[in-house]
Amino acid sequence: MRVISGTYKSHPLRTISGKNTRPTTDKVKEAIFQVIGPYFEGGIGLDLFAGSGGLGIEAISRGADKVLFIDSHPKAIQTIHENINNLKIKDQTEVYKNDAFRALKAASKRGLVFDWIFLDPPYKRISFEKLFKVIFNLGVVRKGSILICEHSTDDILPDNFKRLEMVKTEEYGSTISVSLFEVK
C-alpha cells in the first residue's frame, strides 16, 4: 500500500497483517479522491475504522489540514502511528483507540465539524444508517461535508438520509462498493 498522490506521493504505508482488515486498494482510493478532491485547500477529516490510516493519510497528502484517526484495535493504532511517524505528519493528526460511536460523541463535545468522514467499518457488523443518525444528531457535519462509505456490494445504503444525498456509488470487483454522500 502507498500514498497515491500529493505531497507524500509514492511513500509506502504499512498495513495490518491478517484477515480482519481490508486496506483500500490504490484503484479505489484514487476513485474516491477524484470525486471528493482530488486536492484540498485545508479542511479537517475523520478516518473512522481507520485500519492502517491510508484514507486519512491520503487526504493529508492532498492538502487536508488535519485528520483524526479512530480504530478500536491496538494493532491498527500501532500501524497508524508508525505510518504517521514515517511521514512526519504528527502535527496534522490525532489518533485515538476508541469505539466509533464514543469517538463521534467525543468529537461533538469538542465542537469538531468535519469536511470529510471516511467510513469503512467491518462488513455487516455496523449499520450505516445508525452511523448516519449519530453523525447528524451530534452535529459533526455541515452543509457540503462528504461521507465516504466503503461497504460490501451486498449492503444497500439509502439514496438519501435526512440531509444526506448520495452523490455516487460504484462497485469495485464483486465484493467492494463505495458510496459517497454530501450533506445538503
pLDDT in tens, the chain (184 residues): 899 999 999 999 999 876 566 678 888 899 999 999 999 999 999 999 999 999 999 999 999 999 999 999 999 999 999 999 999 999 999 999 999 999 999 999 999 999 999 999 887 788 899 999 999 999 999 999 999 999 988 888 888 788 899 999 999 888 889 999 999 9
15: in domain: no
Q: What pLDDT is recorded for position 18?
A: 66
Q: What pLDDT is recorded for position 100?
A: 96
What is the β-pairing status of strands 160-161 and 141-152?
unpaired
Contacts of 76 (CB under 8 A, 6+ apart): 16, 21, 50, 51, 52
Q: Find residue 169's DSSP bridge partners.
A: 179
3: in domain: no
Q: What are phi and psi of 94, to 5 degrees?
A: -135, 135
CATH of residue 148: 3.40.50.150
Q: What pLDDT is recorded for position 99?
A: 95
18: in domain: no
Number of folded domains in the chain?
1
Contacts of 20 (CB under 8 A, 6+ apart): 73, 122
84: in domain: yes
Geometric angle at alpha carbon 128, from 122 and 132, rounded to 5°: 135
Q: Report residue 144 as a C-alpha cell.
A: 457540503
Q: What pLDDT is recorded for position 24?
A: 84
Contacts of 86 (CB under 8 A, 6+ apart): 11, 14
Q: What pLDDT is recorded for position 21?
A: 66
Q: What pLDDT is recorded for position 172?
A: 87
d(C-alpha 126, C-alpha 129), whole Å: 9
11: in domain: no
13: in domain: no
Q: Report residue 177 as a C-alpha cell.
A: 462498493
For the full predicted model, state whether its pTM sits above 0.85.
Answer: yes
76: in domain: yes
Q: What pLDDT is recorded for position 127?
A: 87
109: in domain: yes
* Domain with 103 in it: 26-183
Q: What are phi and psi of 57, to 5 degrees?
A: -65, -40
